[in-house]
Structure 1
C-alpha cells in the first residue's frame, strides 16, 4: 500500500511529548514541512530557548542550538552574522520573547536582522508554571493572577506583532492560529513566506501563532480550542500585519 501521509523530512523520528491538546506539535510539523518544501534542511540552524520550546532541539532534522531564556534572537543574530549563507530561525514562547526577551525582539527587528522568528502565543508562561505573561488577556486567570489580569495593576496585554510591525527593519509580520484546518493552512503560508523573506535577504520576518495550553488553562483539549477561538483571536490582530512591497512580490 502506498504511503500518502507521513512525517516530513524536516522532523526527526523523536515523538512529540507535549501535553495532550497542546498545539506545539502542529506548529512543529508546519515548520518541518516548510523546511522540506524549500529544500533548506541542510542549510538551516534553529535556535530554541528554555521552556516548552526547548524540547524541539531533538525534534528537527536541521542543526539546532539552545539559548538562554529570552536570548534566542541574540544567539540567532550571532549565528547569522557569522554564517550569513545559513537560514536561521528562532522558535520562542510568548512568555520568553515578550517578557525577558522583549529587548532582543525590539532591537532584532529594529536592526533588520535577516533571521526568521516564530512566537508561539498561548497567553501564559507554559513550562514554568502558568504564570501571567505579557500576553495574558485581561481578566484571564493564571497562577500569578488568581483573580484575573487587572489592567490597572499589570497593564493591558501586549500584541507583540503590532509593535514589531512599527519598526522599519521588520519587513514581514504576520499572526495566525492553528485551531482549525483553515487556520493551519494559513499559518503554514505565513511561516513559509517568513523563510522566503530570509532566503531573499530582505530583512527581519516575524510570525506569531496562537496556541493552546490546556494544562495551565485547566481546560480539556476541546475546550481549549474553543477558548482560543472565543477569547484570543478577537483580542489579537490576525493575518498579514506588515509586508513590504518586496515581500508582496514573493
Structure 2
C-alpha cells in the first residue's frame, strides 16, 4: 500500500483556483494553511482579505475570513482583534492594497503595535485591475500606466515596505521572503510561523513580505517570471529579517 506523504492542509479548502498560471498566491496560501494546522489554531484563526487578486481568499481558507474595503484590512483586523483578543488575526494584502490606498492603515497599525499579523504579497504591479504601476513597481519596469517604464523623476523609486515599517517602534517582527525555490519556501514558512507565534505570545505587530510573480501582467511565462523576480526584484527588495525584537 502506498504511503500518503503529501496532502491538502485542513485549513485549505478543496477549491478550483482563480489565480493565473504561475502566480505565487496559491503557494503562499498553502504555507499559511500549513502553519495554522501545525500551530493548531484553525478554530481561532480569522483572516482579512484585501481588494486585489486575493479578494476571493475566503474561498480557499477553511476558517473565518472577513472582506475589507480597499486598503482597510489593517483597520478591520484591528477591530476584530480588539473584540476577539483570543483570536489569531491576520491580513493578506497585495502591494497595491497595502502600499498605495492602504499605506496609512498599515503604517499606523504597525506604529501602534497592534497584535495582528500581516502577510504582504509583493509582485510589483497591480494584478487584478489590469497591470497598472504600483508603489513597488521597479524603475524602468513597464506597466499599463507606465508603458515606457517607470521614471524615477516622475514617479519616484519603489517603496520598500519592510524597511520602512522596521524604522517604527511598534513592530516586533518584520521579514521579507520569497517562494521561488524549495529552500526559500521553507524559509517563508518559518517566517510566517514566527510571525503568528509573535501574535500568539501577545507581543505585537508582525509582517511577512513575500516576493511574488505576476506572469500575466508582466507578459512572461511562469518560468520567465521566476527568473525576472530573481534578477530584478530581489536586488531591489533584498530578502532577510528586518526587525526582530526577540533576538
* TM tier relative to shorter chain: over 0.9
Aligned to 1:111: 112
How far off is 1:59 after superposition? 0.5
CA distance in 2, matches of 1:33, 1:84: 23
Aligned to 1:120: 121
CA distance in 2, matches of 1:169, 1:62: 28
CA distance in 2, matches of 1:195, 1:3: 28
> Which string of whole-angstrom CA distances, capped at 9 and with x for unpartnered residues, describes residues 158-191 of structure 1?
0000001011110100000011111111111111
Unaligned runs of 5+ residues in structure 1 are none
CA distance in 2, matches of 1:239, 1:222: 24
Aligned to 2:240: 239
Q: How many residues align?
A: 246
TM-score after normalising by structure 1 = 0.97
> Which string of whole-angstrom CA distances, capped at 9 and with x for unpartnered residues, describes residues 116-151 of structure 1?
001100000110110000000011000000000000
Aligned to 2:187: 186
Unaligned runs of 5+ residues in structure 2 are none
Aligned to 1:226: 227
CA distance in 1, matches of 2:160, 2:15: 33
Aligned to 1:79: 80
How far off is 1:56 after superposition? 1.0
Aligned to 2:158: 157
CA distance in 2, matches of 1:29, 1:44: 15
TM-score after normalising by structure 2 = 0.98
Aligned to 1:54: 55
Aligned to 2:197: 196
Aligned to 1:32: 33
CA distance in 2, matches of 1:174, 1:238: 7
